[in-house]
Amino acid sequence: MKKILNLVIKELRQVVRDPNMLRVIFVVPMIQLLILGHAITTDIKNLDILICDQDNSAISRSLIEQFSHTDYFIVQQQPCRAGEAERFLFRGETVLALVIPEYFGRDLEARDSPEIQILLDGQNSNTAAVAMGYCNRILLEFMRDRMARDTGRDPRLVRSVRFIEPVSRAWYNPELKSVYYMIPGIISILLTIITMLLTGMAIVKEREIGTLDQLLVTPLSAWQIIAGKTLPFALLGFLEMGFAMTFGVLWFKVPIVGSLPLLAVLAAVFIFTTLGLGIFISTLVDTQQQALFIAWFFLVSFILLSGFFYPIANMPDWVQIITLANPLRYFIEILRELFLKGAGLTVLWPELLSLLAIGLTIFTLATVRFSRRAAA
């Protein structure tokens, strides 16, 4: 153990003496967390909507007012004729166009069924779908208000019409802030970068300058060298996660309602997995450039297949099977469940077992390859 401890101290001193490395580990991730925490959001606000009011009646103006009194849309009202809304969409001057036809108010007063045209720029399908949902909700509220007003005038309708009043409550994220959902995912990605990338790069760097060969001819065994190389980055990973979580809580007001000791245990298992990946990558390459490229390949694949941006359930079945080998998928789920729901081990044990299985497999494979390469 003393040999490993000396190697760990030597690695930590090497990191502390390198100001650039300290900036990469502690400053750059905080900047990324700050920018990405604000930039990556699924909330839609201030979306440009073009309203072509061809009716220009009191009822159509009332409908436009309903759209104006939300944070979702910025209303641009243009006197446009039939077919002009498409040109605004094509030129990218609006994302959504609402065309109120002529005689809309008259038909509504006559209890006919007037139609409203909604045109969407569907290039970004997610934005289009959310905007359509907001539109339908506003139109539904408008119709409900109209119906309530009409029934108020006619006592017979009051007795015959019954409204369903939905009482909704969002659990675990009552304000429905997407930043609460995104910050745990960003922290997971930053932790993966620090532990996997830096471990692999550090070992390959020592191989390039020849100091790894000097370590291999010492009485240290292969597993002792691996332990000495990975433990410092495990410690730095914990520090990094602590800083990121503190920043997320203080700056973005992200709640953490779960158990911090349990989070530390689960994070240790995840870091064990990513450190194994870093060692495994170092056994595949000869230069730092190659290590960076391979690590980047794994990192991008992990992020896109983790459910961070897109629900895994929406992916094809064969892709969902591939995601089962992705450790980031499980750790993002763990952080979100712990942060927002306060989930315990009785809920998170499947993720823990999956991480343990992946970590043991990767670490064993990495150790075997490292030992073979050292003996060669």
The alpha carbon of residue 193 and the mean position of all alpha carbons in its chain are separated, in whole angstroms, by 15
pLDDT value of position 82: 66
Mean pLDDT, the chain, integer: 83
Evaluated on CA atoms 80, 82, 84, 85, the torsion sign reads positive
Say what the pTM is.
0.76
Top pLDDT among 268 and 48 is at 268
Round to whole Å and give the CA distance between 258 and 255: 9
Arithmetic mean of pLDDT, 116-122: 84
Say yes or no to pLDDT of 358 above 90: yes
pLDDT for residue 158: 57
- The segment with the largest mean pLDDT, out of 36-50, 171-185, 317-331, is 317-331
> pLDDT band for position 67 (50/70/90)?
confident
- List Cβ<8 Å contacts ≥24 apart for 201-208: 201/288, 201/291, 201/292, 201/295, 202/11, 202/229, 202/233, 203/229, 203/278, 203/279, 203/282, 204/282, 204/285, 204/286, 204/287, 204/288, 204/290, 204/291, 205/288, 207/282, 207/286, 208/286, 208/287, 208/288
Give the DSSP letter of residue 314. G
pLDDT value at 272 more than 80: yes
Residue tagged 């909330």 (tokens): 43
Q: Is the pLDDT of residue 264 over 60?
A: yes
Going by pLDDT thresholds of 50, 70 and 90, the confidence category of residue 328 is very high
Percent pLDDT > 70 in the chain is 93
Nearest-angstrom CA–CA distance, 20 and 289: 18
Q: What is the mean pLDDT of residues 156-169?
A: 62
